[in-house]
A and B are shown apart, each in its own frame.
Chain A
Amino acid sequence: MINDIRNTVLAVLNKNNYGYISPQDFNLYAQQAQMDLFEDYFYAYNYQVNKENQRTSGTDYADIKKGYAEVIDFFSVTSNLTQNGGATNSFFLPSLATTGSDFYLINKIFTGGIELERVNQSKILLLNSSPLTAPSTMFPAYTTQGNIATIYPVSSAAPTITCQYIRYPKPPKWTYVDLGNNSEPVFDQTQPDYQDFELFPDDATDLTMKILQYAGVSIREASVVQYAGAAEATETNSEK
């Protein structure tokens, strides 16, 4: 998908000899565009939930929320957390170093099939001192601070803590072979650091428009920015 999008972007930019963007710039814009759209998934999901509550959403093929949930679930990872030193209730949150990917959103942390409830730092002391709601093995809780999750209640042995989270999409990278002699770089997806977009194909248009906006700003071509912005807004509205 990444090569198609790059070709489209270059085709639009080259019209009337507006300009050209290098592979390095394209990769930067591509990553930015992918993150923009990725974050939009969550807002769009919430928007669809609200529409359902207003009874202005359908079921079956009209169930838009389900589609967003599927896309978000694509980025779902379930992994055991790494204990932090000797403390039996301290664990590292998901990261490249511990679980292989950074988390965008922690959906749940659980142990032995029991979900731990995330509690704000402002509440945890109150919670621990309340006889009725103090965290127990049946209703455990956790707080986060920095990249550390602290589990309650504290047990004598560290439990196995598992986390299900939504990871960030991997940064896209359009890899190429440089033929020299002022030739155009040629797309080469066999390079080890090649990475296609992780978003679904139906987002190709949005990705193209986003990248065009960044590229338009880069080459100081206002008409490109306006065109891409308007096209994206039109597409977004049509999906609501």
Chain B
Amino acid sequence: MSYISQYDYYENGGNAPEDANWGSYQYVSLKDIVVNYQLMYSGNHSLVNNEERYKILFHAKRAIQELNYDAFKEIKVLQLNVSEDLRFILPSDYVNWVRISYFQNGVIRPMVENIQVNSAKAYLQANDNRILFDQDGKALQPEYSPLDFSRITAQQPSIYLNSLSPYNGLMGYEYEGCWYFDFAVGARFGLNTETANANPTFRIDKKSGVINFDSTMANESCILEYVSDGMEGGDDTQVTVNKLFEDYVYAYISYQILNSKLGVQEYVVNRARKAKSALLRNAKIRLSNIHPGRLLMNLRGRDKWIK
């Protein structure tokens, strides 16, 4: 991207949206990456020559995708209300989730992923349990499986210590001067920390593209933090890379092209591979923002007593 004036930066030259260029200086566009690569790393006297632009573009995009999965730490956040059928449709650019929370009374409460399955596909069955088919030979399916139905209609108890726990609201009991609640009376002497969470739970059905919640999340506000692949819905004009990773992307393209090219000596491929890896490490360190001020804040708390 060419350099822009302060006016263009702060107010987008008077055009809408005003914030179009805010923070843009951190990034280099996909177009610049491809053009710079063709100009500087490809040609008659370079290791890479006679390569089609679409190959360079492909590897540039692959590098950006890989960086988006972890190195960039660019978390997208989407807040939506959960529907009556307790589903939250994954965003169109969703690749993986980072954290899912629910937002209630101004407080963000992180949720835990249910360790038990909470959704299933089902087929209609006859009285003798034989599966029913339509005229095309496809098995007939109900709208909801019994598992889903019981969850959506709040009939499914939870092993978590939330309001769906079968012991929630039960009277407590007193034993040797202590009151115990939410537990069956019997031989249970410890807490299963894995399920000791009072918040609603969820489970992600990746293939179906939805997050299934327990029944306490109906109409509740959910905040999904997730990572995308940086392809911006296929709009090449919006694809960018943090400048700290610019050199890495060039090195990645070179390595991928040399690695798949016939007749390139192994030491050349190795050199490209090492350059790529080293640049990725450097960029990650730079992006991690480990600097004295931040370390100092951590070190100040080292002598604090944990009670």
Which A positions have Cβ atoms within 8 angstroms of B? 49, 52-53, 117, 119, 127, 130-134, 136-139, 141
**Count of A-B residue pairs with CB < 8 Å:** 40
Please determine whether A131 and B237 come into contact, CB atoms closer than 8 angstroms.
no
Least distance between B265 CB and chain A CB atoms (Å): 15
* Residues of B that sit less than 8 Å from A by CB: 30-31, 34, 44-45, 52-54, 57-58, 61-62, 231, 234, 236-237
The 6 A-B residue pairs whose C-beta atoms are closest, nearest first, are: A138-B236, A133-B54, A117-B53, A49-B44, A132-B61, A136-B236
**A132, B52: Cβ atoms closer than 8 Å:** no
Cα–Cα distance between A137 and B53 once the two chains are bound (Å):
14
With most chain A CB atoms within 10 A of its CB, the pick from B54, B58, B61, B62 is: B54
What are 23 contact pairs spanning A and B, CB under 8 A?
Answer: A49-B44, A52-B44, A52-B45, A53-B45, A119-B54, A127-B54, A131-B231, A132-B57, A132-B58, A132-B61, A132-B62, A133-B54, A133-B58, A134-B234, A136-B234, A136-B236, A137-B237, A138-B31, A138-B236, A138-B237, A139-B31, A139-B34, A139-B236
* Complex CA distance for A2 and B34, rounded to whole angstroms: 47
Contact A141 B236 (CB under 8 A): no
- Which residues of chain A have C-beta atoms less than 8 A from B237's C-beta? 137-138
Instruction: List, in ascending order, chain A residues with CB within 8 A of B57's CB.
Output: 132-133, 139
**For residue B34, which residues in chain A have a CB less than 8 angstroms away from its CB?**
139
Note all chain B residues with C-beta closer than 8 A to A137.
236-237
Instruction: Give chain A nearest CB distance to B216 CB in angstroms.
Output: 39
Contacts of B44 in A (CB 8 A): 49, 52-53
The answer to whether B54 touches A139 (Cβ under 8 A) is yes
CA distance A53 to B54 in the complex (A): 25
List chain B residues, Cβ under 8 A from A136.
234, 236
Instruction: Note all chain B residues with C-beta closer than 8 A to A139.
Output: 31, 34, 53-54, 57, 236
- The distance from the CB of A134 to the nearest CB of chain B, in whole angstroms, is 8
Q: Are B54 and A141 in contact (CB under 8 A)?
A: yes
Q: A52-B44, A138-B31, A139-B34 are in contact. Are A131 and B54 (CB under 8 A)?
A: no
B54 touches A117 (CB 8 A): yes
Contacts of A131 in B (CB 8 A): 231, 234
Q: How far is the CA of A127 from the CA of B52 in the complex (A)?
A: 12
A137, B54: Cα distance in complex, Å? 13
The complex places the Cα of A134 from the Cα of B61 at a distance, in Å, of 12
**Chain A residue with minimal CB distance to B46?**
A53
User: A52 to B31, alpha carbons, bound, how many Å?
Assistant: 30
Closest B residue, CB atoms, query A138: B236
Tell me the complex Cα distance, A134–B231, Å.
Answer: 13
In angstroms, Cα B54 to Cα A132, docked, is: 9
What's the least CB distance linking B27 to chain A, in Å?
Answer: 15
Give the residues in chain B near A138, CB-CB below 8 Å.
30-31, 236-237
Question: Could you tell me the distance in whole angstroms from the C-beta of A68 to the nearest C-beta in chain B?
Answer: 13
Whole-angstrom distance between the alpha carbons of A43 and B30 in the complex? 35
**Complex CA distance for A148 and B30, rounded to whole angstroms:** 30
Q: Give the complex CA separation of A224 and B236 in angstroms.
A: 63
Chain A residue, CB-CB nearest to B34? A139
**Complex formed: what's the CA distance from A132 to B64 in Å?**
11
Shortest distance between the CB of B92 and any CB in chain A (Å): 13
CA distance A75 to B58 in the complex (A): 34
- Provide the residues of chain B in CB contact with A134, threshold 8 Å: 234
How far is B43's CA from A53's CA once the two chains are assembled, in angstroms? 11
Q: A52-B45, A117-B53 are in contact. List 8 more A-B contacts (CB 8 A).
A: A117-B54, A132-B62, A137-B237, A138-B30, A139-B54, A139-B57, A139-B236, A141-B54
